[in-house]
């Protein structure tokens, strides 16, 4: 079945609001990097953080008093998407909307604080206020409470493909006539501990830039924020098809699975691809699969500008694709070397007659997924 995107919202290291951030991306903006340090280790890491000003529009709510950054990000993005979709929640429809929340690392800042107290002082120092915020679905619960959703809520956990898997799940949910729409949110917060873990796994770069599709795979820069879309059954911006995804063990397998996903999504013309290239080993698989299946398609990734936001990444990609189809142009792809054999927009590029796009998500923890969008 196909679904319509009735509204979109996001909060990113370049600020919040779909149109303002989109404009900055078109102008070639790149989020400013911030150094973070921790007593746990000597290494400092560069990250792309959400500026405080992006949270200024968020009204106080009792549920947000102690909530993690993820919950605040999700609230900003979710409220923007619902507003754009003109969905008003009330007693008549609060159980006719489902919430699917994509996340990867979860509330790592509170989890670390909670466990630090146990390690340093002992179990009796453990905080009963912090513990509930460590649970993966705490941000979804806060968002449901803020919005007044009483229907089904699902928190889906995975790698950076989880956002597209969440949209696939929403599509499955929407086969049920009892639902009018589905709010899909992806969110993540960044922390030193995550940077350190990814660095030990040789996936992180200490300083920007993020160089997509590079031969060496120097690594990614982590970022934070949230993206949200409202899915309904009718509209002009359509998700024509989702792919259930797959998982890989080796890079060569990743390439084969991606080729299958792309072939499944490319019936007819494809004008551009919003890729998930983030500067890691997985870019090679994506590049090779794209080259072999749709060599003429224009390929763009937003991760050099906004970083790798893992749980939020897939939603950001879909919003990028939606905006490119609506506005008929793509931002310039930053920090790409001229040696790659893909068609990429070196400068802001007009896509005047673009009608179809693919979004691909290749996670570094074995998951991958894709979907196809169109505009009428």
Partner 1 sequence: MLKTTAGNGKSVPARVAVVAAGVVSPLGFGLSETLDSLREARDCITRVTRFSVAECRCKTAGQVSDERLLDGRRDASRTQSLHRTSHMMIQALGEAVTQGPEFKPELTIIGTTSGGMSNGENYYRSLHRHGNLRHSPTWIANYPAQKPVIDAQETFGISAPCQVIANACASGTNAIGHAFECVRSSRYQCVLTGGYDALSELVFVGFDSLQASTPEKCRPFDRRRTGMVLGEGAAILVLENFDAARARGAPILAEITGYGASTDNFHLTQPDPSGIGPRRAMELALQSVQVAPNAVDYVNAHGTATLFNDAAEGKAIGELLGRVPISSTKSMMGHSLGAAGAIEAIVCLLALQHQFLPPNINFRAPDEDTELDVVANEARPAALRAALSNSFGFGGTNASIVMRKFEA
* E strand spans, 237-366: 237-247, 272-274, 298-300, 329-330, 349-350, 356-362
Q: How far is the CB of 294 from partner 1 (least distance, A)?
A: 22
Q: How far is the CB of 352 from partner 1 (least distance, A)?
A: 36
Question: Residue 291 and residue 266: Cα distance in Å, rounded?
Answer: 13
**How many residues lie near partner 1 (CB under 8 A)?**
68
**Residue from 51, 132, 209, 355 in contact with partner 1 (CB under 8 A):** 132
Q: Which stretch binds partner 1 (CB under 8 A): 51-59, 195-203, 266-274, 319-327?
A: 195-203
- Look at strands 3-12 and 225-232 and give their pairing: antiparallel
Residue labelled with tokens 């008093």: 65
Q: Which is nearer to partner 1, 56 or 123 (CB)?
A: 123
Instruction: By CB under 8 A, tell whether 150 contacts partner 1.
Output: yes
Cis amide prior to 209 (ω within 30 degrees): yes
Q: How far is the CB of 135 from partner 1 (least distance, A)?
A: 5
Report residue 183: phi and psi, to 5°. -95, 120
Instruction: By CB under 8 A, tell whether 110 contacts partner 1.
Output: no
Q: How far is the CB of 68 from partner 1 (least distance, A)?
A: 12
Instruction: By CB under 8 A, tell whether 175 contacts partner 1.
Output: yes
Q: How far is the CB of 264 from partner 1 (least distance, A)?
A: 12
Instruction: By CB under 8 A, tell whether 173 contacts partner 1.
Output: yes
Instruction: By CB under 8 A, tell whether 169 contacts partner 1.
Output: yes
Q: Quick one: DSSP state of residue 223?
A: B
Structural contact between residues 261 and 368, judged by C-beta atoms closer than 8 angstroms: yes
Structural contact between residues 260 and 281, judged by C-beta atoms closer than 8 angstroms: no
**Residue from 79, 140, 289, 333 in contact with partner 1 (CB under 8 A):** 140
Question: Residue 69 and residue 50: Cα distance in Å, rounded?
Answer: 10
- HSE, side-chain direction, 13 A CA sphere, residue 201: 12
- HSE, side-chain direction, 13 A CA sphere, residue 39: 3
Instruction: By CB under 8 A, tell whether 265 contacts partner 1.
Output: no
Q: Which is nearer to partner 1, 145 or 351 (CB)?
A: 145
Q: What's the Cα-to-Cα distance from 220 to each of 204, 210, 324, 329, rounded to whole Å?
A: 5, 6, 24, 26
Q: How far is the CB of 281 from partner 1 (least distance, A)?
A: 14
Instruction: By CB under 8 A, tell whether 59 contacts partner 1.
Output: no
Structure tokens at 241: 């098809």
Instruction: By CB under 8 A, tell whether 316 contacts partner 1.
Output: no
Q: Which stretch binds partner 1 (CB under 8 A): 154-162, 286-294, 300-308, 339-347?
A: 154-162
Q: Which is nearer to partner 1, 30 or 133 (CB)?
A: 133
Instruction: By CB under 8 A, tell whether 92 contacts partner 1.
Output: no
The helix or strand, by DSSP H or E, that contains position 10, with its residue range, turns out to be: strand 3-12
Instruction: By CB under 8 A, tell whether 89 contacts partner 1.
Output: no
Structural contact between residues 255 and 288, judged by C-beta atoms closer than 8 angstroms: yes
Q: Quick one: DSSP state of residue 235?
A: -
Give residues in contact with partner 1 (CB under 8 A). 40-41, 63, 95, 99, 103-104, 106, 111-112, 114-116, 118-120, 122-124, 126-128, 131-138, 140-142, 144-145, 148-159, 165, 168-169, 172-173, 175-176, 193, 196-197, 200-201, 244-247, 249, 365-367, 369
């Amino acid at each position: 079945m196909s679904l319509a995107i009735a509204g979109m919202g996001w909060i990113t290291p370049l600020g919040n609001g779909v149109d303002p951030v989109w404009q900055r991306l078109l102008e070639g903006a790149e989020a400013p990097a911030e150094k973070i340090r921790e007593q746990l280790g000597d290494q400092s890491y560069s990250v792309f953080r959400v500026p405080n000003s992006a949270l200024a529009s968020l009204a106080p709510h009792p549920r947000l008093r102690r909530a993690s950054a993820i919950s605040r990000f999700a609230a900003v993005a979710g409220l923007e998407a619902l507003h754009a979709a003109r969905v008003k929640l009330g007693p008549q429809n609060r159980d006719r909307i489902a919430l699917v929340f994509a996340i990867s690392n979860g509330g790592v800042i509170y989890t670390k604080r909670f466990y630090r107290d146990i390690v340093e002082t002992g179990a009796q120092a453990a905080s009963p206020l912090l513990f509930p915020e460590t649970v993966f679905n705490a941000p979804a619960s806060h968002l449901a409470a803020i919005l007044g959703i009483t229907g089904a809520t699902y928190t889906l956990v995975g790698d950076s493909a989880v956002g597209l898997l969440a949209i696939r799940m929403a599509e499955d949910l929407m086969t049920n006539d009892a639902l009018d729409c589905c709010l899909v949110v992806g969110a993540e917060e960044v922390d030193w501990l995550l940077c350190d873990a990814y660095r030990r796994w040789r996936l992180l770069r200490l300083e920007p830039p993020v160089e997509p599709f590079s031969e060496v795979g120097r690594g990614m820069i982590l970022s934070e924020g949230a993206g949200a879309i409202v899915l309904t059954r009718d509209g002009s911006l359509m998700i024509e098809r989702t792919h259930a995804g797959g998982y890989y063990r080796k890079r060569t397998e990743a390439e084969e699975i991606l080729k299958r996903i792309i072939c499944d999504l490319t019936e007819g013309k494809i004008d551009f691809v919003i890729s998930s290239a983030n500067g890691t080993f997985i870019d090679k698989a994506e590049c090779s699969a794209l080259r072999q299946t749709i060599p003429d398609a224009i390929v763009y990734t937003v991760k050099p500008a906004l970083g790798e936001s893992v749980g939020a990444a897939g939603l950001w990609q879909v919003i990028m694709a939606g905006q490119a189809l609506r506005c008929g142009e793509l931002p310039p792809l930053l920090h790409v070397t001229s040696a790659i054999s893909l068609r990429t927009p070196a400068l802001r590029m007009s896509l005047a007659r673009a009608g179809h796009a693919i979004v691909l998500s290749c996670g570094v923890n074995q998951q991958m997924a894709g979907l196809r969008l169109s505009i009428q």
